[in-house]
């Protein structure tokens, strides 16, 4: 909804806020395969930290580009930023507690092929 408020605002700058929002969405999309499929909490932590920064930057730029909806955008994006911050803290803890996770993933046998 916050990105829609920016998109529908014809008077303000839309390109940068929506680009930042799009980048954080791509980082969000990349996180799950990095963490779960590749079992790389270290790389996922870098991704999650970048996602947090992009989400915060997108929120600031979206609020600046739509002065009439500044409070609405802050209210809509704040829970998401809080969640990404919490997820980043969890990711950090998992990475610290499992420093050899990437080695374990590399040692896993390949799944059997089905005919």
pLDDT interval class at 108 (50, 70, 90): low
Asked whether residue 64 carries a pLDDT value surpassing 80, the answer given is yes
Tens of pLDDT along 13-57?
899 999 999 999 999 999 999 999 999 999 999 999 999 999 999
For the chain, the DSSP string reads -HHHHHHH-SSS--HHHHHHHHHHHHHHHHHHIIIIIS--HHHHHHHHHHHHHHHHHHHHHHHHH-GGGHHHHHHHHHHHHHHHHHHHHHHHHHHHH-TTHHHHHHHSPPPPPP-
Q: What is the arithmetic mean of pLDDT over 106-113?
A: 69
Q: What is the arithmetic mean of pLDDT over 75-89?
A: 97
Q: What is the pTM of this model?
A: 0.84
């Amino acid at each position: 909804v916050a990105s829609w408020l920016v998109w529908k605002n014809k008077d303000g700058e839309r390109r940068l806020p929506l680009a930042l929002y799009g980048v954080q969405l791509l980082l969000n999309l990349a996180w799950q395969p990095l963490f779960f499929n590749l079992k790389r909490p270290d790389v996922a932590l870098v991704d999650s930290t970048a996602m947090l920064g992009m989400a915060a930057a997108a929120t600031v730029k979206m609020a600046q580009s739509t002065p009439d909806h500044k409070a609405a955008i802050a209210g809509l994006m704040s829970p998401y930023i809080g969640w990404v911050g919490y997820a980043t803290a969890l990711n950090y803890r998992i990475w610290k507690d499992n420093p050899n996770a990437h080695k374990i993933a590399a040692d896993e046998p390949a799944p059997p092929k089905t005919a």
